[in-house]
Structure 1
Amino acid sequence: MQIAFRQATSGDAAPIWEILKKAIARRKAEGSDQWQDGYPNPEVVARDIENGYGYVLVDKDTDTIVGYCALLINDEPAYEAIDGAWLTNGDFVVYHRVAISEDYLGQGLAQQMMKSIEEYTRAKGIVSLRADTNFDNQGMLRIFDKLGYVYCGEVDFRGAKRRAYEKLLQ
């Protein structure tokens, strides 16, 4: 499959929300508390798109959105109070709301999205990627390990402790 990574448009909001809605249900079925409190929601997606934070992974052959994430530069207040220490103190890209379409799971697309996020970060002249996840999000924890992220400590994100990671790009 040929894929593209591009900024989301307002016309992408409905398929993005469908992907997130199913990801929320998957997290619940796995017994996780992550994303079980009304976040994310369609308003968050609309705000991501409006602010230019939303990005989609697209199957170029069918023009189908197969994944979603939000990318922000130096914009995560929760990261200022880490219980631990970041690897760097400079500019960083943070990503949230990573989700792959249920119809495309198991095809390595989450890792492809992460590689696309790395390319985006390099193109901005930034060498630090930061992210956080629930302690029970085994899929994301495996990806962090596989892609060379370093555990930096815990952050308090929307009232819950989360594992915080950073990756330095060469």
Structure 2
Amino acid sequence: MTQNNTIKFRKAEISDKDIIWEIIQQSIERRRIDGSTQWQNGYPNEQTVETDIAKNFGFVLTVNDEIAVYVALIFNDEPAYSTIDGAWLTNGEFVVIHRVAVSEKFAGQGLAKKLFDVIEDYVRSQNVHSIKVDTNYDNTAMLKILESKGYTYCGEVLLQSGMRKAYEKVLM
């Protein structure tokens, strides 16, 4: 990626749905090829994307106005997180990161890491100081990002798809 690319973070719009769904399908396939069981059971699906957008959870990172990364950000609402085998770092307001998906066209360019930086800035701008996220044990790419971005392993949470590693980062 060249230096003069314009990277923007914005809410997803319903007109973005088809490209977002395409990006998620690419990520589902990438997980499968990597040997991960994450996202291999029909979730997330096209309805998930529609719901995210309708509830204002969906966000995109664009490069020169082209959607490169999709993410769902959910404020203070992840029922699965109320029970953790371990302990969260904080008990106050938080944002949950779900459904990070990078377009094949932009894969390997560091945009997932960039996304986490942008999310931190956005969350701070909303006066929230905790980000929580979970991932599969075998999603090595996401585990590496969480480690590199200073997330703390807090324990395990049970989601519909099974036990997940749960992380939190407290923003100062």
Fold-level match, TM-score > 0.5? yes
The residue number in structure 2 matching 1:38 is: 42
Whichever residue aligns with residue 37 of structure 1, its letter is N
Q: 2:103 aligns with which of 90, 101, 104?
A: 101
For 1:23, the aligned partner's letter is S
**Residue number in structure 2 paired with 1:58:** 62
Partners of 1:159 and 1:103 lie apart in 2 by 28
Secondary structure in 2 matching 1:69? strand
Q: When the two structures are aligned, how many residues end up with a matched partner?
A: 168
- So what's the TM-score if we normalise by structure 1? 0.97
Secondary structure at 1:154's aligned position in 2?
Answer: strand
Name which of 156, 167, 170 aligns with 2:169: 167
State the match for 1:78 in structure 2: 80
Per-residue CA distance 1:101-145 (angstroms, 9 max, x = gap): 111111110011111111111011011000000001101000111
Give the letter for the 2:124 counterpart.
R
Selected match of 2:14 from 10, 13, 21:
10
**Normalising by the residue count of structure 2, what TM-score does the alignment of the two structures yield?**
0.96
SS in 2 for 1:75: coil
Deviation of residue 2 (structure 1)? 1.6
The yes-or-no answer on 1:26 pairing with 2:30 is yes
Map 1:110-125 → 2, pairs under 5 A: 110-125=112-127
Runs of 4+ in structure 1 deviating by more than 6 angstroms, as ranges, are none
Q: Output the CA distance in 2 between the equivalents of 1:100 and 1:145.
A: 19
| RMSD, aligned α-carbons | 0.7
Paired with 1:154 and 1:98, the residues of 2 have a C-alpha distance of 19
Partner of 2:90: 88
**Unaligned runs of at least 5 residues, structure 2:** none
- Per-residue Cα deviation, 1:69-89 (whole angstroms, up to 9, x for no partner): 000111000000000000001
Q: Which amino acid aligns with 1:11?
A: S
Q: Percent identity?
A: 52
- What secondary structure sits across from 1:16 in the alignment? helix
How many Å separate the matches in 1 of 2:97 and 2:79?
A: 13
Distance 1:48 1:116 in 2: 19
Counterpart AA for 1:164: A
User: Given residue 156 of structure 2, which amino acid in structure 1 is its aligned partner?
Assistant: E
Whole-angstrom distance in 2 between the partners of 1:145 and 1:41: 28
Show structure 1 runs of 5+ residues with no match. Answer: none
SS, match of residue 87 in structure 1: coil
- SS of match in other structure, 1:18: helix
